[in-house]
Amino acid sequence: MNINENITVADVVTKNIKAAHVFKKHGIDFCCGGGITIEKACAKYSVDYKTLEKELLAIDKVSSRTYDYNSWDLEFLIDHIVNIHHTYVQESLPIILQYSDKVAAVHGHHYTEVLKINKLFQEVAGELTAHMKKEELILFPFIKQLVKAEKEGSVLPQPPFGTVNNPIQMMEQEHENVGDIFKTIAKLSNNYTPPEEACNTFRALYGALEEFEKDLHQHIHLENNILFPKAIALEKNSAI
C-alpha cells in the first residue's frame, strides 16, 4: 500500500479496510472526518506521522512462517497463547465494541441484523474476558506446576478443583459457546460482507469481526487440540 502525507484518511481506508483499525487506535476519525489528508490528520490529532506510516505499511505484512506448535514445551506454548492470542483479544475487544455500538446506533433502523450482532458481540466480550482470566489465574499456572513437577520429579499438591480435566472441560465448553455465537454472527453478516453502500465504520466492523474469528479459531485449536490433551496426559503420568 502506497502511503504519503497527501493521501486522505478515507482513501487509505477505502483501499484497505484494515487501516481503519490503525486510525482508530490513534483516535483519528476515518469515517465522517476522513476527507482530510494524513498530514492534516496527524496535526489535528497530535500523532507522529512516521509512527502512523510504519503501522499502516505493516498491516499487510503477514509472516509465511509456520510453527510446529506440537513440539513446543507446554510452558512456552502457554506464554505464546497469553502473549499473542490473549493480548490480541484484549486489544481488539474495545475497538470492535466501539465499531459495533456506532454501527448499531446509526444503521440499526435499516439493517436490523447489526443490532443482533452488537448484542452478540457484547456477550462474546464478557465471556472471553472472564474466560481468559480463569485461564491465566488458575488453569495455566497449574499446568506450569505440572511441567515443573515432572522436570524435578517432585510431588504436586492436590489442586482444589480435583483434577486438571475439570477446569479444562469448563474451558472447552466456553470455547464451544463463543464459537457458536460467532457462527450466528457470520450468518447474520452474510459471512462478513457489508452492504455495497456501507460506510467505512460499517466495513471496518465486519472486517474486524472476520479477523477476530480467524484468530479465535487458531487460539482455540492451540488449547483444545494441543495444550489441554498434553496437560491431561502429563497429570496422569505424574500419578503413576
Nearest to 59, CA basis, from 19, 87, 90 = 19
Spell out a b/e string for 71-103, using b for 16 or more CB atoms within 10 Å of the CB, else e.
ebebeebbebbeeebbebbeebbebbeebbebb
d(CA 240, CA 220): 29
More confident residue, 90 or 154: 90
Domain boundaries, the chain: 9-58, 69-239
> 0.75 cut: is pTM over it?
yes
Residue 213 vs residue 155, higher pLDDT = 213
- 62 has pLDDT over 70: no
Q: What is the pLDDT of residue 103?
A: 97
pLDDT at 240: 47
pLDDT in tens, 191-231: 999 999 999 999 999 999 999 999 999 999 999 999 999 99
Residue 176 has pLDDT above 90, yes or no: yes
CA dist., res. 39 & res. 30, Å (int): 13
Query: In the predicted model, is pLDDT for residue 66 greater than 90?
Result: no
Average pLDDT over residues 103-118: 96
Query: Nearest Cα to 239, choosing from 152, 156, 168, 143?
Result: 156
At 26-52, the pLDDT tens digits run 989 887 777 899 999 999 999 999 999
Which DSSP string do the residues of 152-218 spell out, in sequence order?
Answer: HTPPPPPPTTSSTHHHHHHHHHHHHHHHHHHHHHHHHTTTT---TT--HHHHHHHHHHHHHHHHHHH
The mean pLDDT of 63-81, rounded to a whole number, is: 87
